[in-house]
Amino acid sequence: MSRRLPPLNALKAFEAAARQMSFTKAAEELFVTQAAVSHQIKSLEEFLGLKLFRRKNRSLLLTEQGQSYFQDIKEVFTQLHEATDRVLASTAKGALTVSVQPTFAIQWLVPRLSEFNVLHPDIDVRIKAVDQDEGSMTDDVDIAIYFGKGKWPGLVADKLHEELLVVVCAPQLLEGDIPLNTVDDLNRHILLHDIDRKDWKAWLKMMSVDTSKASYGPIFSHTALVIQAAVHSQGVGLVNSVLAQPELLSGRLVCPLSEALTSEDSHYLVCEESQADLGKIKAFREWMLARVSKEQKSIKRMTGTHAFD
């Protein structure tokens, strides 16, 4: 019995166009022209002897037969993608794409990455720094670092550090005309805010003092910017102890007040459940979790803080 199959390029064009419901978007995804997509769809329709799409009021619609065909082949494409991912991930070599927010990449991951490269020279790590919403895993990412509660459907999430929000400033502020020794001294200093003002408000509330001071001061979109502003004596920051670690170790920042607030969210190492124990992904997970475990206690000692929930 003859097993005739349509050309793969025609199937790819159809699957993309049906999923996007647009020839234009399908062309962008496949890096071809809209005319090329249209040609591939036409050749597939000729092969099948039926119409797959129809246009109505400038919109693109699947015919009944087109809808049925799409439902069948999209599962096949999903299986092909998953099978390919498993094969690529099964070996402890090749490219490994890690998606991570910029501050964590700059302050923690990149300075330690050479250790992983020495242990696994056959794995080519590619860092993809993105401002992502938690749970936004994309097809081109093998493993990611999210900041959140740790529950994302379909993903394995390994909690990294126990994270504290600590008060930091440049040592010059302690030596200036306005000392910073007590909570009340904050009233004479500029507060630096990370994304919004809720962290400082929570910290001041924890200290049972007036929270109105938290309504003032510059707001930065990344923790790294808050840290740099504090380093340059522009104010007092309340930042993640893990992310401030390099500056605290170097002495460019100090913790003038010992009270710390336990962060509601943490950084998590996440990947697809089906990929967690495969090759290069497993190697990166094991290295990173071991590295975090090794340094967890030293972070709290370094800040000299005691935490409150």
DSSP code per residue over 65-112: HHHHHHHHHHHHHHHHHHHHHHHHHHSS-EEEEEEE-HHHIIIIIHHH
Per-residue pLDDT tens digits for 174-188: 877 888 888 999 999
295: which 2 tokens?
């340094």
> CB of 140 within 8 A of CB of 184?
no
Q: What's residue 63's pLDDT?
A: 93
Per-residue pLDDT tens digits for 100-157: 999 999 999 999 999 999 999 989 999 998 876 554 566 678 899 999 888 888 889 9
Domains of the chain from N-terminus onward: 8-79 (1.10.10.10), 91-161+266-296 (3.40.190.10), 164-263 (3.40.190.10)
288: which 2 tokens?
């990173």
Confidence of residue 309 (pLDDT cuts 50, 70, 90): very low
Which position has the token pair 């930091």? 168
- Beta carbons within 8 Å of 282's beta carbon, 6+ residues apart: 92, 276
CA 177 to each of CA 49, 109, 137, 185, 291: distance values in angstroms, whole numbers, following the listed order: 85, 37, 49, 12, 41
Q: What's residue 1's pLDDT?
A: 41
Q: What's residue 304's pLDDT?
A: 53
Q: What's residue 80's pLDDT?
A: 83
Per-residue pLDDT tens digits for 160-171: 988 899 999 999
Highest mean pLDDT among 49-63, 80-94, 101-115, 265-279: 101-115
Helix-, strand-, coil-residue percentages of the chain, each rounded to 5: 50, 20, 30
Q: What's residue 3's pLDDT?
A: 64
